[in-house]
Amino acid sequence: MKYLFVLLFFVLGSYSINAQHWKELKQAPLKIKYQIPTGWYVGGYTSGKSCNCSGATINTADDRSLNMVIFSSDKEDLEALKKQPIWGYNFAPPSSDAEMLKTEYFAFEKALSTWQEDGQSTVLRFATSTTELKYLVYFWGSFNDVTKHAATIEHILKSIQQL
């Protein structure tokens, strides 16, 4: 019975992610491109002191239940970048060891926590680096919303690649 439930969940999850329409974003200053669902808010690119990084972009689900930001740096190493606040929010120490998520283009270190300033939000942080740039990708929202958007998060991460 458990196997049937898992199979049904997988089939329904695959259907909902495949039924979604996607648009590709190319962000040359970050040297990446990736896909997000059509209808999501695209905040555009920012750099310098406003994000305390080389560059950043923010996107939000159309129902505002999930937020996403990508930070890049060509100056900071990955560990230093992880410790920087994100517009005044600090990633709380993760509750468990980091896991790896390998995609066709990157190997992301995945950590789950909250914001220190907002313990109600569930925050996923994915960290990766190339020889040129270091990237942090954050997704946050309520636990239920982050769980509900798990397939979308995975699709976005799998689509991230360098230009």
Spell 84-95 as b/e; 16+ CB within 10 A means b.
eebeebebbeee
Report which residue type is found at 75.
Answer: K
Q: How is domain 22-162 classified at the architecture level of CATH?
A: 3-Layer(aba) Sandwich (3.40)
Q: What is the phi/psi pair of residue 151, to 5°? A: -70, -35
Residues 98-108: tens digit of each pLDDT: 899 999 999 99
Question: What pLDDT sits at residue 18?
Answer: 55
Q: Which residue has the higher pLDDT, 3 or 55?
A: 55
Domain ranges of the chain: 22-162
Q: Give the distance, in angstroms, between the CA of residue 134 and the centroid of all CA atoms in the same chain.
A: 14
For 100, residues 6+ apart whose C-beta sits below 8 A from its C-beta are 107, 108, 109, 110
Residues 74-94: tens digit of each pLDDT: 888 889 889 888 878 899 998
Rounded-to-integer distance, Cα 93 and Cα 116, Å: 9
Question: What pLDDT sits at residue 11?
Answer: 47
State yes or no: pLDDT of 9 exceeds 50.
no
Determine contact, residues 31/131, Cβ cutoff 8 Å. Answer: no
Is the pTM for the entire model greater than 0.95?
no
Question: What pLDDT sits at residue 5?
Answer: 37
State yes or no: pLDDT of 1 exceeds 80.
no
